[in-house]
Amino acid sequence: MEQNNARFTSLDVFRGMTICFMIIVNNPGSDVSFAPLDHAKWFGFTPTDLVFPSFLFAMGNAMSFAMKKFEGLSSGPVILKILKRSVLIFLVAYCLEFLGSIHHQLNGGWSIGSISHMRILGVLPRIALCYLFAALMVHFIKSKTIVVVISILLLLGYWVILRVFGDPGNHFGMLTNVGTYIDKAVLGENHMYHGEGVAFDPEGILSTLPSIVNVICGYYAGKFIQEKGKSYEMISKLLMVGFLFIFLALCWNMSFPIAKKLWTSSFVLLTVGIDLVLISALVYVVEMKKWNPLKWTSFFTTFGKNPLAIYFFGDFFGAVVGWFYIDKMNFNEMMSVKVFQVISAGAIGSLLFAIYYMLVCWLFGKILDKKKIYIRV
């Protein structure tokens, strides 16, 4: 039992770091921010691009422990449990979407966004879909080899589909790739993301396929850690696979560019490779060397123990405080302009606001942790 708890510490730290960084990059205080805290415009890679795939990897890692509860159950109850978790994540996503559409006007009135323009897919829906398909695969397909083959086919198949279909002159363009065509046909432009100024969904239908592989790789990494235990053999092999994936990603990048918003297969290999290196380092530092001066791990485990609850609170807090105006600015705008931009204008002030916002979310997580409240989907 002690061994399992130790492994969960590394997982919580890894997941906590991911949530912590996710809140920071999702909540800048202004449009001006440091380059590493922005996503790559299209092709390329920044540290921010690692956040979402790392969460999927961590979810797969956690699944390697949680899926043991399904052993001995018949197919019916297992499918129901997996479906229930996926549906709940979808419901949380749409609750956040609804809250975000509520706006308190300066004249005192209220406005609520129309369902006809509600985004159907997004970060949480992708998490739900990836969990659904990955969990079904690893539970019902007992052969690891077959799951690995399916994962390879997902990556290669996605590449082929993008190359064969879409605009022949620009297979990987934002508006000319086949994934965008599918999203417009199935979801409709009004139900897609418009943050780029056009109807394009970075969490679209087709690009969900390769993202499933991030979860599967996290699952088998967790299984491997459990099988090998805290040993140099385990760490060295994870590191070798991680560096191999990074090398393959950089090679594939020459014909299938690394792009988070398109979730290319080379992007999957790169992010999984980096995650394997990071999780290896954490297992070594936290579990084997037990290097924890000032108990730094506890800060991140606060996030890692309640990731979904803290993620929900972050969006909820932003929506609610945005309803209150001071000097014709909502509370978030006032904190950014009147406080942090005064302390330091530009990117530094924007980062300070993001850190403040992250600490508010951490405080909420700490309260839950003190009360031993752990919300699981």
Identify whether the C-beta of residue 119 lies closer than 8 Å to the C-beta of residue 97: yes
Q: How confident is the model at residue 21 (pLDDT cuts 50, 70, 90)?
A: very high
High-pLDDT (> 90) share of the chain, %: 45
Q: Can you give the pLDDT at residue 52? A: 94
Q: Which residue type sits at 330?
A: N
| pLDDT at 245 > cutoff 90 | yes
Kindly give, in sequence order, each residue whose CB lies less than 8 Å from that of residue 338, ignoring residues fewer than 6 positions away: 327, 329
Question: Distance between CA 163 and CA 176 in Å, rounded?
Answer: 11
Rounded Cα distance, 185 and 171, in Å:
18
Q: How far is Cα 256 from Cα 258, in angstroms, rounded to an integer?
A: 7
Contact yes or no for 56/130 (Cβ under 8 A): yes
pLDDT in tens, 32-68: 888 888 888 999 999 999 999 999 999 998 888 888 8
DSSP class of 302: H
Single-letter code of the amino acid located at 27: N
Q: Could you give the C-alpha distances from 205 to 98, 129, 202, in angstroms and in order?
A: 21, 10, 9
Q: Give helix 347-370 / helix 296-305 axis angle, nearest 10°.
A: 70
At residue 128 the predicted structure's pLDDT band, cuts being 50, 70 and 90, is: very high
